[in-house]
Chains A and B, each alone.
Chain A
Amino acid sequence: AQKITQTQPGMFVQEKEAVTLDCTYDTSDQSYGLFWYKQPSSGEMIFLIYQGSYDEQNATEGRYSLNFQKARKSANLVISASQLGDSAMYFCAMSPGYSSASKIIFGSGTRLSIRP
């Protein structure tokens, strides 16, 4: 069975600082995908970044980067130069495969608050 663990229920960060959101996972699958989503107060789920288990390089998308350490089964999200608009819930998620039928399971989330 797959499991996603986010150990930081809440974080406060000063604007313009970098922040790392922790995520560890557990799976026996060889092929899997890791995701990070942002959920603002409106409730919509916003896709941020994706990392495949066979990808050798860490994924990056603008200010977001995923620190993928396969041996440690961790997939931390790094947000550089944080902005006030980054305040939201952040969910780490995992899918056991790449097909359209592969379900995604979510961690418990981290509430990030950016201080001006």
Chain B
Amino acid sequence: GAVVSQHPSRVICKSGTSVKIECRSLDFQATTMFWYRQFPKQSLMLMATSNEGSKATYEQGVEKDKFLINHASLTLSTLTVTSAHPEDSSFYICSARVPGLDQFFGPGTRLTVL
């Protein structure tokens, strides 16, 4: 089946620094990828839709200047958390959907901001 990878799996950073998370589709091309955030014991909340070659579409309430998304190729989307603060600590999950099939999720990135 299709595989989506994320890197890093876990990151700890200081408050005020920026963190980049990569999402790759390993054996298929993904024109669209999705970024979710999951706080402890809560559900996945869609942050944005990443579109290859164009601007990302952000969900209401998500700051586009804080969560920068770049989808430069058909296999890679990146999420950069700029000037991270402790409240940004969360589990970030990306996914990609193959037409006609289900949505494939990456293993997630656990971000801890000190």
- Interface set of A (CB-CB < 8 Å, partner B): 35, 37, 42-45, 47, 50, 91, 95, 98-109
Contacts and interface: CB of A to CB of B under 8 A. Distances in A.
Contact of A100 (B38, B45, B97): B97
Contacts, number: 60
Given A43-B107, A44-B108, A50-B102, A101 B44 contact: no
B90 to A, nearest CB: 11
B71 interface: no
Nearest to B34: A103
| Prevailing SS type, chain B contact patch | strand
Contacts of A99: 97, 99
Contact of B103 (A35, A107, A108, A109): A35
A93 to B, nearest CB: 8
A106 B103 contact: no
Interface residues of B, number: 27
Contacts of B104: 47
Contacts of B97: 99-102, 104
Interface string B5-41: 0000000000000000000000000111010001000
A1 to B, nearest CB: 10
Contacts of B31: 100-101
Contacts of A43: 38, 91, 93, 107-108, 110
Interface string B46-71: 10010100000000000000000000
